[in-house]
Chains A and B, each alone.
Chain A
Protein backbone atom coordinates (compact mmCIF):
# COMPACT_ATOMS: atom_id res chain seq x y z
CA UNK A 1 0.00 0.00 0.00
CA UNK A 2 1.42 3.37 -1.03
CA UNK A 3 0.20 6.41 0.92
CA UNK A 4 0.18 10.02 -0.20
CA UNK A 5 -0.65 12.84 2.19
CA UNK A 6 -2.81 15.63 0.79
CA UNK A 7 -2.67 19.09 2.37
CA UNK A 8 -6.29 20.14 2.69
CA UNK A 9 -7.40 23.26 4.58
CA UNK A 10 -5.64 22.56 7.93
CA UNK A 11 -5.49 18.80 7.69
CA UNK A 12 -3.29 16.22 6.07
CA UNK A 13 -5.39 13.53 4.45
CA UNK A 14 -4.02 10.03 3.93
CA UNK A 15 -4.81 8.75 0.43
CA UNK A 16 -3.83 5.09 0.09
CA UNK A 17 -3.25 3.33 -3.21
CA UNK A 18 -4.68 -0.11 -2.45
CA UNK A 19 -4.05 -1.60 -5.82
CA UNK A 20 -2.37 -0.39 -8.99
CA UNK A 21 -4.22 -0.39 -12.26
CA UNK A 22 -4.79 1.37 -15.52
CA UNK A 23 -7.74 3.66 -16.17
CA UNK A 24 -10.20 5.51 -13.98
CA UNK A 25 -9.58 5.14 -10.24
CA UNK A 26 -12.08 3.63 -7.82
CA UNK A 27 -12.09 5.57 -4.57
CA UNK A 28 -13.24 3.77 -1.42
CA UNK A 29 -14.85 5.94 1.29
CA UNK A 30 -14.99 4.24 4.66
CA UNK A 31 -17.69 4.23 7.32
CA UNK A 32 -17.87 6.22 10.55
CA UNK A 33 -15.00 5.40 12.89
CA UNK A 34 -13.34 3.18 10.32
CA UNK A 35 -10.32 3.78 8.13
CA UNK A 36 -9.42 2.88 4.59
CA UNK A 37 -8.87 -0.83 4.08
CA UNK A 38 -5.21 -1.74 3.70
CA UNK A 39 -5.84 -3.79 0.58
CA UNK A 40 -8.38 -3.49 -2.21
CA UNK A 41 -11.68 -5.08 -1.12
CA UNK A 42 -12.33 -8.40 -2.84
CA UNK A 43 -15.52 -7.00 -4.35
CA UNK A 44 -13.36 -4.68 -6.48
CA UNK A 45 -11.66 -7.59 -8.21
CA UNK A 46 -13.24 -6.77 -11.59
CA UNK A 47 -12.11 -3.13 -11.46
CA UNK A 48 -9.33 -2.59 -14.00
CA UNK A 49 -8.19 0.79 -12.77
CA UNK A 50 -6.32 1.63 -9.61
CA UNK A 51 -8.13 1.36 -6.29
CA UNK A 52 -7.61 4.06 -3.66
CA UNK A 53 -8.88 4.50 -0.12
CA UNK A 54 -9.13 7.83 1.70
CA UNK A 55 -8.95 8.34 5.44
CA UNK A 56 -11.37 11.13 6.33
CA UNK A 57 -10.25 13.85 8.73
CA UNK A 58 -10.00 12.43 12.25
CA UNK A 59 -9.80 8.86 10.93
CA UNK A 60 -6.98 6.45 10.11
CA UNK A 61 -3.72 8.17 9.28
CA UNK A 62 -5.28 11.59 8.59
CA UNK A 63 -5.01 14.56 10.92
CA UNK A 64 -6.70 14.41 14.30
CA UNK A 65 -7.98 18.00 14.66
CA UNK A 66 -8.64 19.78 17.94
CA UNK A 67 -12.09 20.62 19.20
CA UNK A 68 -14.34 18.63 16.89
CA UNK A 69 -16.73 20.39 14.54
CA UNK A 70 -17.35 17.57 12.07
CA UNK A 71 -19.88 17.80 9.28
CA UNK A 72 -20.55 15.54 6.33
CA UNK A 73 -19.92 18.56 4.13
CA UNK A 74 -16.39 18.93 5.53
CA UNK A 75 -15.79 15.23 4.83
CA UNK A 76 -17.24 15.76 1.37
CA UNK A 77 -14.51 18.32 0.80
CA UNK A 78 -11.96 15.75 2.02
CA UNK A 79 -13.11 13.40 -0.72
CA UNK A 80 -13.09 16.30 -3.17
CA UNK A 81 -9.41 16.83 -2.31
CA UNK A 82 -8.82 13.26 -3.45
CA UNK A 83 -10.58 14.03 -6.74
CA UNK A 84 -8.33 17.06 -7.17
CA UNK A 85 -5.41 14.65 -6.85
CA UNK A 86 -6.77 11.72 -8.88
CA UNK A 87 -9.09 13.26 -11.44
CA UNK A 88 -12.52 11.75 -12.19
CA UNK A 89 -13.30 8.68 -10.08
CA UNK A 90 -15.96 6.13 -9.30
CA UNK A 91 -16.94 6.04 -5.63
CA UNK A 92 -17.55 3.04 -3.39
CA UNK A 93 -18.98 4.35 -0.14
CA UNK A 94 -19.67 2.42 3.03
CA UNK A 95 -22.05 3.84 5.64
CA UNK A 96 -21.03 7.42 6.36
CA UNK A 97 -18.85 7.31 3.26
CA UNK A 98 -21.90 6.48 1.16
CA UNK A 99 -23.78 9.57 2.34
CA UNK A 100 -20.67 11.73 1.89
CA UNK A 101 -20.27 10.23 -1.57
CA UNK A 102 -23.84 11.17 -2.46
CA UNK A 103 -23.26 14.78 -1.40
CA UNK A 104 -20.06 14.88 -3.40
CA UNK A 105 -21.65 13.39 -6.50
CA UNK A 106 -24.32 16.09 -6.40
CA UNK A 107 -21.66 18.74 -5.98
CA UNK A 108 -19.18 17.46 -8.59
CA UNK A 109 -21.52 15.67 -11.02
CA UNK A 110 -19.04 15.92 -13.90
CA UNK A 111 -16.10 14.46 -11.95
CA UNK A 112 -17.71 11.30 -10.62
CA UNK A 113 -18.56 8.29 -12.76
CA UNK A 114 -20.87 6.31 -10.55
CA UNK A 115 -21.41 5.80 -6.83
CA UNK A 116 -22.02 2.55 -4.98
CA UNK A 117 -23.93 2.94 -1.71
CA UNK A 118 -23.04 0.09 0.64
CA UNK A 119 -23.85 -0.69 4.27
CA UNK A 120 -21.46 0.45 6.94
CA UNK A 121 -21.20 2.43 10.17
CA UNK A 122 -22.80 5.84 10.08
CA UNK A 123 -25.24 5.20 7.24
CA UNK A 124 -28.15 6.71 9.15
CA UNK A 125 -26.60 9.70 10.89
CA UNK A 126 -28.96 11.43 13.30
CA UNK A 127 -32.07 10.94 11.19
CA UNK A 128 -34.21 13.08 8.93
CA UNK A 129 -35.08 15.79 11.44
CA UNK A 130 -33.16 17.35 14.31
CA UNK A 131 -33.77 15.88 17.72
CA UNK A 132 -33.83 17.99 20.86
CA UNK A 133 -30.48 19.80 20.90
CA UNK A 134 -27.90 18.68 23.40
CA UNK A 135 -24.37 19.49 24.36
CA UNK A 136 -22.12 16.66 23.25
CA UNK A 137 -19.23 15.97 25.57
CA UNK A 138 -15.91 14.22 25.19
CA UNK A 139 -13.39 14.24 28.06
CA UNK A 140 -10.33 16.13 26.87
CA UNK A 141 -8.01 13.24 27.71
CA UNK A 142 -9.79 11.13 25.12
CA UNK A 143 -9.34 13.57 22.25
CA UNK A 144 -5.59 13.90 22.09
CA UNK A 145 -4.44 10.44 21.17
CA UNK A 146 -5.34 8.28 18.23
CA UNK A 147 -7.94 8.26 15.54
CA UNK A 148 -10.82 7.81 15.23
CA UNK A 149 -11.61 11.11 16.86
CA UNK A 150 -14.35 10.68 19.52
CA UNK A 151 -15.82 13.98 18.33
CA UNK A 152 -16.28 12.47 14.87
CA UNK A 153 -18.02 9.45 16.36
CA UNK A 154 -20.46 11.66 18.25
CA UNK A 155 -21.05 14.44 15.77
CA UNK A 156 -21.39 12.32 12.65
CA UNK A 157 -23.78 9.92 14.35
CA UNK A 158 -26.10 12.75 15.32
CA UNK A 159 -26.11 15.04 12.27
CA UNK A 160 -29.42 15.69 10.54
CA UNK A 161 -29.83 14.25 7.04
CA UNK A 162 -33.03 15.62 5.54
CA UNK A 163 -34.48 13.48 2.72
CA UNK A 164 -35.04 16.50 0.50
CA UNK A 165 -31.40 17.51 0.94
CA UNK A 166 -30.29 14.12 -0.35
CA UNK A 167 -32.88 14.30 -3.13
CA UNK A 168 -31.54 17.71 -4.19
CA UNK A 169 -28.09 16.24 -4.68
CA UNK A 170 -29.49 13.35 -6.70
CA UNK A 171 -31.40 15.84 -8.82
CA UNK A 172 -28.10 17.59 -9.55
CA UNK A 173 -26.64 14.25 -10.65
CA UNK A 174 -29.64 13.56 -12.88
CA UNK A 175 -29.43 16.99 -14.47
CA UNK A 176 -25.70 17.43 -14.85
CA UNK A 177 -24.14 13.98 -15.17
CA UNK A 178 -24.47 12.24 -18.52
CA UNK A 179 -25.05 8.88 -16.79
CA UNK A 180 -28.52 7.32 -17.04
CA UNK A 181 -27.79 4.96 -14.16
CA UNK A 182 -25.42 6.72 -11.80
CA UNK A 183 -26.02 5.57 -8.23
CA UNK A 184 -26.18 1.90 -7.27
CA UNK A 185 -27.81 1.03 -3.95
CA UNK A 186 -26.48 -2.26 -2.63
CA UNK A 187 -27.18 -1.61 1.05
CA UNK A 188 -29.79 -3.36 3.14
CA UNK A 189 -30.02 -0.21 5.27
CA UNK A 190 -32.51 2.31 3.89
CA UNK A 191 -32.52 5.48 5.98
CA UNK A 192 -34.96 8.18 4.96
CA UNK A 193 -32.34 10.14 3.03
CA UNK A 194 -31.65 7.07 0.92
CA UNK A 195 -35.32 6.26 0.38
CA UNK A 196 -35.73 9.80 -0.96
CA UNK A 197 -32.70 9.46 -3.19
CA UNK A 198 -34.07 6.22 -4.64
CA UNK A 199 -37.08 8.00 -6.12
CA UNK A 200 -34.84 9.25 -8.91
CA UNK A 201 -34.42 7.28 -12.14
CA UNK A 202 -30.62 7.59 -11.93
CA UNK A 203 -30.62 5.51 -8.73
CA UNK A 204 -30.97 1.74 -9.03
CA UNK A 205 -30.67 -1.35 -6.88
CA UNK A 206 -27.87 -3.75 -7.61
CA UNK A 207 -25.25 -6.00 -6.12
CA UNK A 208 -21.86 -4.56 -5.29
CA UNK A 209 -20.04 -6.73 -7.82
CA UNK A 210 -22.50 -5.97 -10.61
CA UNK A 211 -22.43 -2.25 -9.91
CA UNK A 212 -18.64 -2.09 -9.90
CA UNK A 213 -18.51 -4.11 -13.07
CA UNK A 214 -21.05 -1.81 -14.72
CA UNK A 215 -19.34 1.43 -13.68
CA UNK A 216 -15.98 -0.04 -14.69
CA UNK A 217 -17.28 -0.73 -18.19
CA UNK A 218 -18.80 2.74 -18.60
Chain B
Protein backbone atom coordinates (compact mmCIF):
# COMPACT_ATOMS: atom_id res chain seq x y z
CA UNK B 1 0.00 0.00 0.00
CA UNK B 2 1.47 3.33 -0.98
CA UNK B 3 1.86 6.34 1.26
CA UNK B 4 -1.00 8.27 -0.32
CA UNK B 5 -3.48 5.54 0.61
CA UNK B 6 -2.02 5.14 4.10
CA UNK B 7 -2.32 8.85 4.82
CA UNK B 8 -5.92 9.02 3.65
CA UNK B 9 -7.01 5.92 5.55
CA UNK B 10 -5.24 7.11 8.69
CA UNK B 11 -7.28 10.32 8.54
CA UNK B 12 -10.45 8.29 9.13
CA UNK B 13 -9.64 5.78 11.88
CA UNK B 14 -13.27 4.76 12.42
CA UNK B 15 -13.22 3.19 8.95
CA UNK B 16 -11.54 -0.20 8.93
CA UNK B 17 -10.67 -2.55 6.16
CA UNK B 18 -12.12 -6.03 6.76
CA UNK B 19 -10.65 -8.58 9.15
CA UNK B 20 -10.81 -11.30 6.49
CA UNK B 21 -11.18 -11.53 2.72
CA UNK B 22 -11.97 -14.58 0.60
CA UNK B 23 -13.42 -15.44 -2.77
CA UNK B 24 -16.49 -17.48 -3.69
CA UNK B 25 -16.85 -19.17 -7.08
CA UNK B 26 -20.33 -18.56 -8.48
CA UNK B 27 -20.00 -20.63 -11.62
CA UNK B 28 -16.76 -19.48 -13.15
CA UNK B 29 -16.96 -15.95 -11.74
CA UNK B 30 -15.14 -15.17 -8.49
CA UNK B 31 -16.92 -13.00 -5.96
CA UNK B 32 -14.90 -11.06 -3.39
CA UNK B 33 -16.23 -11.55 0.15
CA UNK B 34 -15.11 -9.48 3.14
CA UNK B 35 -15.80 -9.95 6.84
CA UNK B 36 -15.58 -8.00 10.07
CA UNK B 37 -15.87 -9.63 13.50
CA UNK B 38 -15.22 -13.03 15.01
CA UNK B 39 -16.12 -15.94 12.73
CA UNK B 40 -18.04 -17.57 15.58
CA UNK B 41 -20.35 -14.57 15.98
CA UNK B 42 -23.89 -14.31 14.64
CA UNK B 43 -23.57 -13.77 10.85
CA UNK B 44 -25.16 -10.70 9.27
CA UNK B 45 -25.03 -10.41 5.49
CA UNK B 46 -24.58 -6.92 3.96
CA UNK B 47 -25.53 -6.17 0.32
CA UNK B 48 -24.30 -2.96 -1.31
CA UNK B 49 -26.26 -0.94 -3.84
CA UNK B 50 -25.93 -0.87 -7.60
CA UNK B 51 -22.68 0.71 -8.85
CA UNK B 52 -21.35 0.66 -5.27
CA UNK B 53 -19.01 -1.77 -3.49
CA UNK B 54 -18.55 -3.68 -0.24
CA UNK B 55 -16.05 -1.10 1.05
CA UNK B 56 -18.94 1.31 1.58
CA UNK B 57 -19.53 -0.76 4.73
CA UNK B 58 -16.06 0.03 6.11
CA UNK B 59 -17.59 2.07 8.94
CA UNK B 60 -20.88 0.24 9.46
CA UNK B 61 -19.28 -3.23 9.27
CA UNK B 62 -16.81 -2.65 12.14
CA UNK B 63 -19.59 -1.07 14.25
CA UNK B 64 -21.72 -4.18 13.77
CA UNK B 65 -18.72 -6.38 14.53
CA UNK B 66 -18.08 -4.52 17.76
CA UNK B 67 -21.73 -5.19 18.68
CA UNK B 68 -21.08 -8.94 18.39
CA UNK B 69 -21.85 -9.73 14.77
CA UNK B 70 -19.89 -11.42 12.02
CA UNK B 71 -20.62 -8.81 9.35
CA UNK B 72 -20.15 -10.25 5.87
CA UNK B 73 -20.30 -8.19 2.68
CA UNK B 74 -19.47 -9.00 -0.91
CA UNK B 75 -18.81 -7.17 -4.14
CA UNK B 76 -21.51 -8.03 -6.65
CA UNK B 77 -20.29 -9.35 -10.00
CA UNK B 78 -18.64 -6.56 -11.95
CA UNK B 79 -18.31 -4.41 -8.84
CA UNK B 80 -15.36 -3.73 -6.54
CA UNK B 81 -12.88 -6.60 -6.35
CA UNK B 82 -15.13 -9.27 -7.86
CA UNK B 83 -14.61 -10.56 -11.38
CA UNK B 84 -16.12 -8.79 -14.33
CA UNK B 85 -18.80 -10.83 -16.08
CA UNK B 86 -19.91 -11.11 -19.67
CA UNK B 87 -23.55 -10.85 -18.63
CA UNK B 88 -25.40 -9.16 -15.79
CA UNK B 89 -28.93 -9.63 -14.50
CA UNK B 90 -30.86 -9.16 -11.32
CA UNK B 91 -31.52 -12.89 -11.14
CA UNK B 92 -27.83 -13.72 -11.45
CA UNK B 93 -27.08 -11.25 -8.65
CA UNK B 94 -29.63 -13.04 -6.46
CA UNK B 95 -28.02 -16.40 -7.25
CA UNK B 96 -24.60 -15.00 -6.39
CA UNK B 97 -25.99 -13.67 -3.11
CA UNK B 98 -27.43 -17.08 -2.27
CA UNK B 99 -24.04 -18.68 -2.87
CA UNK B 100 -22.33 -16.12 -0.62
CA UNK B 101 -24.96 -16.89 2.01
CA UNK B 102 -24.30 -20.63 1.59
CA UNK B 103 -20.57 -20.01 2.03
CA UNK B 104 -21.25 -18.92 5.64
CA UNK B 105 -22.16 -22.51 6.55
CA UNK B 106 -24.71 -21.09 8.95
CA UNK B 107 -27.05 -23.58 10.56
CA UNK B 108 -29.63 -21.00 11.64
CA UNK B 109 -31.41 -18.40 9.52
CA UNK B 110 -29.20 -15.38 8.82
CA UNK B 111 -30.29 -11.73 8.99
CA UNK B 112 -29.61 -9.79 5.80
CA UNK B 113 -29.16 -6.05 5.26
CA UNK B 114 -29.15 -4.32 1.90
CA UNK B 115 -28.91 -0.79 0.58
CA UNK B 116 -30.87 0.43 -2.45
CA UNK B 117 -30.55 -2.34 -5.08
CA UNK B 118 -29.12 -4.47 -2.27
CA UNK B 119 -32.33 -3.79 -0.32
CA UNK B 120 -34.38 -5.20 -3.16
CA UNK B 121 -32.00 -8.15 -3.33
CA UNK B 122 -32.38 -9.03 0.36
CA UNK B 123 -36.16 -8.70 0.03
CA UNK B 124 -36.05 -11.28 -2.77
CA UNK B 125 -33.64 -13.54 -0.87
CA UNK B 126 -36.20 -13.69 1.93
CA UNK B 127 -38.85 -14.64 -0.61
CA UNK B 128 -36.90 -17.40 -2.36
CA UNK B 129 -35.13 -18.72 0.76
CA UNK B 130 -37.51 -17.95 3.62
CA UNK B 131 -36.06 -20.81 5.66
CA UNK B 132 -32.54 -19.34 5.43
CA UNK B 133 -33.26 -15.69 6.24
CA UNK B 134 -33.67 -14.58 9.85
CA UNK B 135 -34.54 -10.92 9.31
CA UNK B 136 -34.50 -8.31 6.55
CA UNK B 137 -33.09 -4.81 6.91
CA UNK B 138 -33.80 -2.62 3.89
CA UNK B 139 -31.89 0.66 3.64
CA UNK B 140 -33.58 3.06 1.22
CA UNK B 141 -34.48 0.26 -1.17
CA UNK B 142 -38.21 0.21 -0.52
CA UNK B 143 -40.11 0.26 -3.81
CA UNK B 144 -42.89 2.55 -4.93
CA UNK B 145 -45.25 2.52 -7.89
CA UNK B 146 -43.47 5.38 -9.66
CA UNK B 147 -40.20 3.52 -10.03
CA UNK B 148 -36.64 4.67 -10.06
CA UNK B 149 -36.13 8.42 -9.71
CA UNK B 150 -34.13 8.64 -12.95
CA UNK B 151 -36.60 6.84 -15.17
CA UNK B 152 -37.73 8.46 -18.39
CA UNK B 153 -41.26 9.02 -19.63
CA UNK B 154 -41.69 5.94 -21.82
CA UNK B 155 -44.60 7.46 -23.70
CA UNK B 156 -42.19 10.10 -25.06
CA UNK B 157 -41.06 8.54 -28.36
CA UNK B 158 -38.00 10.77 -28.71
CA UNK B 159 -36.86 10.23 -25.12
CA UNK B 160 -37.27 6.47 -25.37
CA UNK B 161 -35.51 6.43 -28.73
CA UNK B 162 -32.58 8.26 -27.16
CA UNK B 163 -32.44 5.89 -24.19
CA UNK B 164 -32.60 2.71 -26.26
CA UNK B 165 -30.07 3.88 -28.84
CA UNK B 166 -27.72 5.17 -26.16
CA UNK B 167 -27.76 1.82 -24.39
CA UNK B 168 -26.97 -0.03 -27.61
CA UNK B 169 -24.29 2.50 -28.53
CA UNK B 170 -22.73 1.95 -25.12
CA UNK B 171 -22.75 -1.81 -25.67
CA UNK B 172 -21.04 -1.37 -29.04
CA UNK B 173 -18.21 0.52 -27.34
CA UNK B 174 -18.14 -1.32 -24.02
CA UNK B 175 -15.56 -3.94 -24.91
CA UNK B 176 -12.90 -1.33 -25.52
CA UNK B 177 -13.75 1.37 -23.02
CA UNK B 178 -12.49 2.16 -19.58
CA UNK B 179 -13.75 4.37 -16.79
CA UNK B 180 -12.35 7.88 -16.90
CA UNK B 181 -9.06 8.28 -15.05
CA UNK B 182 -8.71 11.10 -12.54
CA UNK B 183 -6.77 12.05 -9.47
CA UNK B 184 -7.82 10.47 -6.20
CA UNK B 185 -9.12 13.87 -5.12
CA UNK B 186 -10.94 14.25 -8.42
CA UNK B 187 -12.78 10.95 -7.99
CA UNK B 188 -13.70 11.96 -4.45
CA UNK B 189 -15.21 15.19 -5.75
CA UNK B 190 -17.17 13.25 -8.37
CA UNK B 191 -18.50 10.95 -5.64
CA UNK B 192 -19.50 14.06 -3.66
CA UNK B 193 -22.20 14.71 -6.26
CA UNK B 194 -23.97 11.57 -4.99
CA UNK B 195 -22.93 12.07 -1.37
CA UNK B 196 -22.98 15.83 -0.77
CA UNK B 197 -22.95 15.57 3.02
CA UNK B 198 -19.87 13.32 3.43
CA UNK B 199 -16.58 14.59 4.81
CA UNK B 200 -13.68 14.88 2.40
CA UNK B 201 -11.86 12.23 4.46
CA UNK B 202 -14.67 9.69 4.00
CA UNK B 203 -15.02 10.50 0.30
CA UNK B 204 -11.29 10.06 -0.30
CA UNK B 205 -11.26 6.89 1.79
CA UNK B 206 -14.01 5.44 -0.42
CA UNK B 207 -11.85 6.13 -3.48
CA UNK B 208 -8.95 4.17 -1.97
CA UNK B 209 -11.22 1.11 -1.77
CA UNK B 210 -13.63 1.43 -4.68
CA UNK B 211 -11.09 2.67 -7.20
CA UNK B 212 -7.69 1.49 -8.36
CA UNK B 213 -4.58 3.40 -9.33
CA UNK B 214 -3.55 2.78 -12.92
CA UNK B 215 -0.55 4.31 -14.66
CA UNK B 216 -2.69 7.19 -15.95
CA UNK B 217 -4.58 7.86 -12.73
CA UNK B 218 -7.34 6.57 -10.46
CA UNK B 219 -10.50 5.01 -11.83
CA UNK B 220 -13.48 3.27 -10.24
CA UNK B 221 -13.17 -0.52 -10.36
CA UNK B 222 -16.74 -1.08 -11.51
CA UNK B 223 -17.09 -2.74 -14.88
CA UNK B 224 -17.23 -0.04 -17.59
CA UNK B 225 -19.64 -2.28 -19.50
CA UNK B 226 -22.30 -1.74 -16.81
CA UNK B 227 -24.84 0.96 -17.51
CA UNK B 228 -28.40 1.72 -16.41
CA UNK B 229 -31.08 0.51 -18.78
CA UNK B 230 -32.77 -0.36 -20.90
CA UNK B 231 -35.60 -0.09 -18.44
CA UNK B 232 -39.18 -1.10 -19.00
CA UNK B 233 -39.59 -4.87 -18.82
CA UNK B 234 -39.77 -4.78 -15.03
CA UNK B 235 -42.69 -2.92 -13.48
CA UNK B 236 -41.88 -1.34 -10.11
CA UNK B 237 -45.32 -2.10 -8.71
CA UNK B 238 -44.65 -5.83 -9.06
CA UNK B 239 -42.26 -5.63 -6.11
CA UNK B 240 -44.87 -4.22 -3.74
CA UNK B 241 -47.02 -7.29 -2.97
CA UNK B 242 -43.85 -9.35 -2.74
CA UNK B 243 -42.52 -7.00 -0.08
CA UNK B 244 -45.84 -6.97 1.75
CA UNK B 245 -45.85 -10.78 1.72
CA UNK B 246 -42.56 -11.28 3.58
CA UNK B 247 -42.99 -13.11 6.86
CA UNK B 248 -39.65 -12.42 8.51
CA UNK B 249 -38.86 -9.60 10.95
CA UNK B 250 -38.43 -6.51 8.78
CA UNK B 251 -36.69 -3.18 9.38
CA UNK B 252 -37.01 -0.43 6.81
CA UNK B 253 -34.95 2.77 6.93
CA UNK B 254 -35.18 5.55 4.38
CA UNK B 255 -33.52 8.92 3.93
CA UNK B 256 -35.93 11.78 3.41
CA UNK B 257 -33.80 13.86 1.05
CA UNK B 258 -34.60 12.73 -2.48
CA UNK B 259 -31.46 12.08 -4.50
CA UNK B 260 -30.57 11.04 -8.03
CA UNK B 261 -29.58 7.46 -7.21
CA UNK B 262 -32.58 6.71 -4.99
CA UNK B 263 -36.14 5.51 -5.41
CA UNK B 264 -37.57 8.57 -3.70
CA UNK B 265 -40.06 6.46 -1.74
CA UNK B 266 -41.76 8.61 0.89
CA UNK B 267 -42.87 7.45 4.35
CA UNK B 268 -46.45 7.92 3.15
CA UNK B 269 -45.76 5.45 0.33
CA UNK B 270 -43.64 3.03 2.36
CA UNK B 271 -45.78 2.48 5.44
CA UNK B 272 -48.79 0.78 3.78
CA UNK B 273 -46.68 -1.69 1.82
CA UNK B 274 -44.29 -2.92 4.51
CA UNK B 275 -44.67 -6.45 5.89
CA UNK B 276 -46.92 -6.83 8.88
CA UNK B 277 -45.15 -5.85 12.09
CA UNK B 278 -42.33 -4.07 10.27
CA UNK B 279 -40.24 -1.46 12.02
CA UNK B 280 -39.70 1.71 10.03
CA UNK B 281 -37.50 4.80 10.36
CA UNK B 282 -37.43 7.87 8.13
CA UNK B 283 -34.21 9.77 8.78
CA UNK B 284 -34.41 13.55 8.51
CA UNK B 285 -31.65 15.50 6.77
CA UNK B 286 -30.34 12.27 5.25
CA UNK B 287 -30.07 11.22 1.63
CA UNK B 288 -30.20 7.91 -0.20
CA UNK B 289 -26.91 6.52 1.16
CA UNK B 290 -28.10 6.27 4.77
CA UNK B 291 -25.42 3.78 5.87
CA UNK B 292 -22.60 5.90 4.46
CA UNK B 293 -23.96 9.18 5.75
CA UNK B 294 -24.99 8.03 9.21
CA UNK B 295 -23.28 4.69 9.95
CA UNK B 296 -23.35 5.13 13.73
CA UNK B 297 -27.11 5.82 13.76
CA UNK B 298 -27.79 2.93 11.39
CA UNK B 299 -25.70 0.58 13.52
CA UNK B 300 -27.61 1.59 16.64
CA UNK B 301 -31.01 1.03 14.99
CA UNK B 302 -29.92 -2.28 13.44
CA UNK B 303 -28.40 -3.68 16.63
CA UNK B 304 -31.48 -2.70 18.63
CA UNK B 305 -33.79 -4.27 16.03
CA UNK B 306 -31.83 -7.50 15.76
CA UNK B 307 -31.63 -7.72 19.54
CA UNK B 308 -35.40 -8.06 19.53
CA UNK B 309 -35.83 -9.95 16.26
CA UNK B 310 -33.36 -12.83 16.62
Contacts and interface: CB of A to CB of B under 8 A. Distances in A.
Interface of A: 7-11, 57, 63, 65-74, 76-77, 80-81, 84, 106-109, 129-130, 132-136, 138, 140, 143-144, 151, 155, 159-162, 165, 168, 171-172, 175-176
Interface in B113-131: 124, 127-129
A133 B93 CA distance: 13
From B27, B124, B238, name the one whose CB has the most chain A CB atoms within 10 angstroms: B27
Contacts of A63: 86
Given A67-B92, A77-B171, A133-B91, 13 more contacts: A9-B86, A9-B171, A11-B86, A67-B77, A69-B87, A69-B88, A77-B167, A80-B171, A133-B128, A159-B233, A162-B232, A168-B232, A172-B160
Contacts of B77: 67, 69
15 contacts: A9-B175, A66-B27, A69-B77, A69-B85, A74-B87, A77-B167, A77-B168, A107-B164, A107-B230, A108-B164, A134-B128, A136-B91, A140-B27, A144-B28, A155-B89
Contacts of B128: 133-135
Given A66-B85, A107-B165, A172-B161, A133 B124 contact: yes
B168 A172 contact: no
B84 to A, nearest CB: 7
A159 B172 CA distance: 24
B238 to A, nearest CB: 6
B164 A66 contact: no
A69 B28 contact: no
Contact of A10 (B89, B160, B175): B175
A38 to B, nearest CB: 25
From B84, B154, B171, name the one whose CB has the most chain A CB atoms within 10 angstroms: B171
Contacts of A175: 157
A162 B233 contact: yes
A160 B230 contact: no
Nearest to A65: B86
A135 B94 contact: yes
A172 B157 contact: yes
Contacts of A161: 233
Contact of B98 (A67, A81, A135, A168): A135
A83 B274 CA distance: 46
Contacts of B167: 73, 77, 107
Nearest to A125: B233
A108 B230 CA distance: 13
Nearest to A69: B87
Interface in B1-55: 26-29
A20 B68 CA distance: 70
Contacts of A71: 87, 89
Contacts of B84: 10
B87 A57 contact: yes
Given A9-B225, A77-B168, A135-B94, A66 B28 contact: yes
A10 B94 contact: no
B308 interface: no
B95 interface: yes
